[in-house]
Chains A and B, each alone.
Chain A
Amino acid sequence: MDRQVKTKPKLEVAKEPIPHSLLPGEIGAVLELTVEDKRGKVTDHRIMRSKSFTRQFLELLWVQAFQIPEIAPYSVRDTGNILRDICESGFTFAANGDAGNTAQGIIVGTGTTAPTINDYAIETLIAHGVAAGQLQYSAVTFGAPASDATTSQFTITRDFANASGGAITINEIALYVAGFKYNTSYYFMTIRDVIAGGISVPDGQTLTVNYREQVVI
């Protein structure tokens, strides 16, 4: 049976596995990559530490923890390389992109340049679609918070289906989230990871990316 691409964001309450890759005191993410063929057979599976919160994560946390007001906004560089004035809001950190939305949620690319704290966008975006070099972005889904004796986490998930006719190698993965001011949402990259050696998604197969944001005691 062919895999179906999720079209709407979804909240899951399913019990998620809790990998232990972070050290006590660290707040970060674990990145899990799974490639499956049309029948659901796993052809590649990797779990690694996400290394690269970018400055925008800290800036959005600052905006929300401080409750930066509309009349004195804070400027954050968006994914289009424009400084945007934003303030506290109900949309800060929103990552719930719909299917096909490459402005919000987990994003993939082919760039290989090592991340820096000042990165504001993925290096070479893989577009949504079925043409050569494109992947079909599903809706972003979420796994509810869970914890064990040492670790608390929640999960952000997106599927990328390859119907392009050829294999595509993903070298970078990012998380784009929202910030807001004056009835306008802007989008900011809060995480960017480069995958050593890349991960290949053959034609007809699907990559599932799980970012498990964690804190460890």
Chain B
Amino acid sequence: MLTVKLVLEKLDKEGKPLQRREQPCRSFVRNFMALLYVAHAQVPSSNPHNMTDVGGTTRPVDGSSGDIYGLYHYRKSNLKIGSLPGLGEMACLAGATNGGGIYPIGITIQGEKIGIQVGTGSTAPTPTDTAMVIRIAHGRNAGQLEYGGCELIGITFSEPTGEFTIRRYFTNASGGSITVNEVGLHAAGTQIGTAAWPFLIARDVVSPGITVADGEILRVIYVPQITV
């Protein structure tokens, strides 16, 4: 069985802990199953699986990677969670259809759109959620938080369990306080040789919300853990 622990820690600007909250993550949604299905079934580009991205648009996601001969043969960013900070353009690998070694390198997603997300919405999660209710954007303006990179660290196994950590820092330089009421995860899905999009795969409500004052830092950690 796989369960996921969700940890939120508020730090001051020097990194000194101010508050810690730990709760079980209960809300992986249907899109997570859909990305696993695409991978297990090797859903072909000729008959893709339609999924709703975080912008509410239906996207044809496939498990095809195509190019046998290219430098980046068989590469595919489906299920990608690790990401760059903020607005950094991040190459997403979607496979290639040409078979001649020319690989599309212009498919990108901004780092803030992949990995751990935060928001102010407080609506209870459902399996068909496809987006944060009110996502907090990356930035330094009022109501915004600066998104750090989303890291994957520390995969470890000790009978009967195994786990790894997904972590992201959010810095408040907005000039005012922001209350985080929801936390989520975005992962990539791709269409061969064409495009990549972010999909919501988990969303949890944090209640009561955690208020991050100007100058403070919020560290959000997901720990997926299997136990036999």
Interface residues of A (CB under 8 A from B): 9, 11, 22, 24-28, 49, 51-55, 57-59, 61-62, 64-67, 88-96, 115-118, 142, 144-145, 147-154, 156, 177, 180, 183, 213-215, 217
The 21 listed contacts between A and B (C-beta, < 8 Å) are A26-B1, A27-B28, A53-B228, A54-B226, A57-B226, A62-B155, A64-B78, A64-B79, A65-B79, A67-B77, A90-B78, A94-B42, A94-B63, A96-B40, A117-B161, A117-B162, A117-B228, A148-B127, A150-B127, A183-B73, A215-B28
Tell me the bound Cα distance from A201 to B80 in angstroms.
41
Q: How large is the interface on B (under 10, 10 to 19, 20 to 34, 35 or more residues)?
A: 35 or more
Chain A proximity of B169: nearest CB distance (Å) = 18
Chain A proximity of B163: nearest CB distance (Å) = 7
Are B41 and A217 touching (Cβ within 8 A)? no
Are A94 and B65 touching (Cβ within 8 A)? no
Across the interface, B187 reaches (CB within 8 A) one of A55, A65, A148, A214, namely A65
Question: Does B126 sit within 8 A of A, measured CB to CB?
Answer: yes
Q: Which residues of B contact A214 (CB under 8 A)?
A: 33
Chain A proximity of B183: nearest CB distance (Å) = 14
Tell me the bound Cα distance from A134 to B75 in angstroms.
37
Across the interface, A152 reaches (CB within 8 A) one of B29, B77, B224, namely B29
Tell me the bound Cα distance from A214 to B74 in angstroms.
27
With A11-B47, A51-B1 known as contacts, the answer to whether A116 contacts B159 (CB < 8 A) is yes
Are B95 and A90 touching (Cβ within 8 A)? yes
Are B25 and A25 touching (Cβ within 8 A)? yes
Are B33 and A180 touching (Cβ within 8 A)? no
Q: Which residues of B contact A144 (CB under 8 A)?
A: 37, 49
Are B155 and A59 touching (Cβ within 8 A)? yes
